Structure 1
């Protein structure tokens, strides 16, 4: 299965890539970027934003990235441990329309899709308090006590906080698209990795909701979306395929800058790139199975690739892509089981040697059956340069 070699362009700096994206968006609605963590996606989003502040301009980019979360910080009420609130950095342009436009309803419309807590914004103190319904320990069948009670001034989890900030961003995007005067300075929206700890179902929901919202802004605002999350990225690409867009794969080229690979003519290139990464896990001639650094989450990655391959060939199930092993049905069951564990790329767990052997046999047989032309995405020299 040979893939046409996509055009690769070298760049000395992320600033140069930001210039390229701004040039692309003169003729396009969307630029979609796939890149691994640690490549420089967040720094690229800031370079793009800073380009809009040249020559004393106040800026033209509404962005969401790791720095967006820094616009909020907790006051944990250390003295009384009772009134915990999330403080807002009101000096940021991000909050230009908060007081005048009262965003609670818009934020809650998004929040209720992903979470079960409530919130209240104090525009005088620029702080947010949270509450949640919890089971009432005093309730018993037949008594008059309510089944639930409201717990006020709670500190939500880190994941819930991230979702809340994301919903604020979606509400602001809606204002931008609707032409709110407070956000008339926005010409570009740049979104970098809204996904950090969501499961696959929520990743799909977030990608779908985002795509539907941004398509309402076509012709009003131009958008860059970058991600390392292959499922999120794939949904975004599918949802926006009828819009004018450009898709890229970004790679840090050791000490020599960066390469940008156009992937518009190579469907599922990011999955092929992922497969190239998995191939690099196979043991070398001088390695024992114990030396191979295979983590549990790699099963999730392999299953995802097989599912896309099965879809490409019109198979009903990914198990149809398992070939050349002793018991194909047994191996399919094993892969199905092992890819459904709570395996996170952020909390990697190394496999035992028996499980590593299973992974290697499935992957090696898959590579022999489906002859993908795998690009040299990350060489040993690149890995050393990135450490």
Structure 2
């Protein structure tokens, strides 16, 4: 049976600079990031070659609620680790504020040093506040906290303060595991910016269970306006277990399962709540159908279903709505006409092609 260590070694041996991996929850994404760390350290005399963001990253941040003083000095403590020596650029620049700005936080914050003000020790804690005058400490929500931690690591990744010994790669495991749907495209944008700023100097490996994030990034890296730069240097995989429970890093055989999961995701969204990024997924589904039928582009798949409008016009509209500039607005919800069009197209796809999922 193939083990995580073998999958990690397979990733390590890849020539591509960017690896994008989709996997269901509980498949082993976090174990893969740990396995990759062990493989790279073993090949580097036991020393770190890169930096990691995974489920363990949040454990480095712990709330001190200051219960004896009725939360007067509540703050988010930063557990001391080997990362502290890289905190200096967060103290000297606005890079953390820049990363957070994409998420439009309602709070402000202060990065607190240790009592002896020794900057070499890094950041001891973070105080959050809303009122600029009083700076009265507040406790941010769990969702806000997770976004802050993600941006904290993004800022560290992008700070340029890493030593050569730990500068080979970034491994990002499930950055949206705890974020709501409103932030999917924002997170995709933040990752795209990270790739733009570090490519091709550092390898970036990203795993996710979120099909929306996976699809948006895959689309940008292989079909977007910068795809000529990244396409040939990007490896895209599905991490999955077969009927025997064997783990595989699959770039072809898992496609059918991926399409069905994509379709189910869109159907679930159509029956609950639709966001703008779902047009990216819809376009990808249409492209996959056209490709399966031996044709390129989404127009052919649209021409095979019963639509009131010209399929070419509908195709142009979908392409426009799935373009990245559409998502620069603060609202990520679809408008009512967009929802109607989306549900009509999806319903016709399911009816015409008799998908079962």
Question: 2:76 aligned to 86, 94, 98, which one?
Answer: 86
- 1:224 corresponds to which of 196, 205, 215: 205
Is residue 64–residue 169 contact of structure 1 (8 Å, CA) maintained in 2? yes
Per-residue deviation at 1:227?
A: 0.9
Which residue of the other structure, out of 166, 169, 178, is the alignment partner of 2:153?
169
Q: Which residue of 2 aligns with 1:206?
A: 187
Q: Does residue 67 of structure 1 match 2:48?
A: no
1:63–1:254 distance in 2 versus 1, CA, 3 Å: farther
**Would you say how many aligned residue pairs link Structure 1 and Structure 2?**
299
Q: Which of these residues, 249, 254, 259, is aligned with residue 272 of structure 1? A: 259
2:29 corresponds, among 35, 38, 41, to 41
Structure 1 residues 321 and 308, CA gap change in structure 2 (3 angstroms): farther
**Which residue among 91, 115, 128 is the counterpart of 2:126?**
128
Q: Which residue of 1 aligns with 2:352?
A: 369
Normalised by the length of structure 2, the TM-score is: 0.70
Unmatched 5+ stretches in structure 2: 116-123, 288-296, 308-333
CA RMSD of aligned residues (A): 4.1
More helix by share: 2
Residue 52 of structure 1 aligns to a residue in which SS?
helix
Larger Rg: 1
Deviation at 1:366, TM superposition (A): 3.7
Residue 10 of structure 2 corresponds to 20
Say if 2:143 is the partner of 1:159. yes
CA distance, structure 1, for counterparts of residue 178 and residue 77 of structure 2: 23
Unpaired stretches in structure 1, ≥5 consecutive residues: 1-10, 134-147, 282-293, 324-334, 341-358, 377-387
TM-score (structure 1 length as normaliser): 0.65
Q: How many Å separate the matches in 1 of 2:63 and 2:246?
A: 38
1:1-387 equivalences in 2 (<5 Å): 12-24=2-14, 27-54=15-42, 56-81=45-70, 82-90=72-80, 92-99=81-88, 102=91, 105-114=94-103, 115-125=105-115, 126-133=124-131, 150-175=134-159, 178=160, 180-182=161-163, 184-241=165-222, 242=227, 243=230, 244-253=233-242, 256-263=245-252, 272-275=259-262, 306=282, 308-309=284-285, 312-314=297-299, 366-370=349-353
Q: 1:113 to 1:79 in 2, by over 3 A?
A: same
Query: Whose relative contact order is higher, 1 or 2, with alpha carbons under 8 Å and at least 6 apart?
Result: 1
The CA deviation at 1:76 is 0.6
